[in-house]
């Protein structure tokens, strides 16, 4: 409600940049409520406004937000392109925090697309920056993605180490969905390693969290792994 009131006022004031930023905030609110379609609509409008005023900073923010919504919607290639655009603009504008956020999204998309060399090339910079800034939430997500990359290449012990590390980091912050993703991934790797009791325990924890949080896609995925 408040963001919509801001939108009306910025429209009356003809402040295009703040109007676009408010559209981005409305997109975040809708994404948090699981309304990806509405979130995309706000971001597409924000993108049009940013282009009309040629505002690089707003374009950077829109592309970063778009990459996040694309990831939630499991649209890897358009998400990668949006994240890459945000990364380039962040570098040009001297925004290191946005730059590393975009790099994290790039790594996540490259992992899903199976582009292992690209993931390996950008990993050291990401880990160094996140460790230096003490960004535990993003560091946990990064380690999770590194585990996925290792798992998909058949490096199961490397994947287990990355996910256990991610779980340890994530225990210091309140991110239950991220914990559930890590439990689910550990369950998958323990199946591959033949450690069925450990796998069952991890997958049951993952399924319980996903169900409690209403994340039905990942709940179904955890149950599928549990059936295996």
The pLDDT of residue 55: 93
147 versus 131: which is more confidently predicted? 147
Q: How confident is the model at residue 16 (pLDDT cuts 50, 70, 90)?
A: very high
Tens digits of per-residue pLDDT, 172-182? 988 899 999 99
Average pLDDT over residues 69-82: 94
Q: How confident is the model at residue 111 (pLDDT cuts 50, 70, 90)?
A: confident
Average pLDDT over residues 113-121: 89
The pLDDT of residue 147: 94
Q: How confident is the model at residue 85 (pLDDT cuts 50, 70, 90)?
A: very high
The pLDDT of residue 8: 95
Q: Rounded to two decimals, what is the model's pTM?
A: 0.76
161 versus 116: which is more confidently predicted? 161
- What's CA 134's distance to the chain center, in Å? 18
**How many of the other CB atoms lie within 10 Å of CB of 196?**
12
- Of the candidates 169, 178, 186, which has an alpha carbon nearest to the alpha carbon of residue 215? 178
182 versus 96: which is more confidently predicted? 182
The pLDDT of residue 89: 97
The pLDDT of residue 145: 87
Distance CA 19, CA 26 (A): 11
**How many of the other CB atoms lie within 10 Å of CB of 37?**
10
Q: How confident is the model at residue 120 (pLDDT cuts 50, 70, 90)?
A: confident
DSSP helix/strand/coil, 140: helix
Q: How confident is the model at residue 72 (pLDDT cuts 50, 70, 90)?
A: confident
The pLDDT of residue 186: 97
Give ∠ CA 60-44-9 in degrees, rounded to 5: 85
């Amino acid at each position: 409600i408040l963001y919509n009131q801001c939108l009306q006022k910025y429209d009356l004031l003809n402040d295009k940049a703040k109007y676009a930023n408010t559209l981005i905030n409305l997109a975040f609110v809708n994404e948090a409520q699981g309304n990806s379609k509405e979130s995309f609509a706000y971001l597409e409008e924000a993108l049009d406004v940013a282009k009309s005023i040629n505002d690089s900073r707003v374009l950077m923010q829109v592309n970063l937000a778009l990459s996040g919504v694309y990831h939630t919607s499991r649209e890897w290639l358009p998400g990668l392109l949006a994240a890459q655009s945000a990364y380039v603009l962040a570098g040009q504008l001297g925004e290191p925090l946005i730059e590393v956020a975009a790099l994290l999204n790039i790594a996540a998309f490259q992992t899903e697309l199976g582009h292992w060399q690209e993931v390996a090339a950008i990993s050291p910079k990401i880990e160094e920056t996140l460790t230096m800034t003490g960004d535990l939430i993003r560091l946990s997500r990064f380690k999770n993605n590194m585990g996925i990359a290792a798992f998909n290449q058949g490096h199961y012990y490397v994947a287990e180490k990355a996910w256990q590390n991610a779980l340890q980091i994530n225990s210091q912050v309140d991110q239950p969905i991220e914990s559930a993703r890590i439990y689910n991934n550990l369950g998958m790797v323990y199946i591959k390693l033949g450690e069925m009791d450990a796998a069952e325990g991890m997958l049951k924890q993952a399924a319980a969290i996903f169900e409690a949080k209403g994340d039905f896609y990942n709940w179904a995925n955890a149950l599928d792994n549990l059936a295996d």
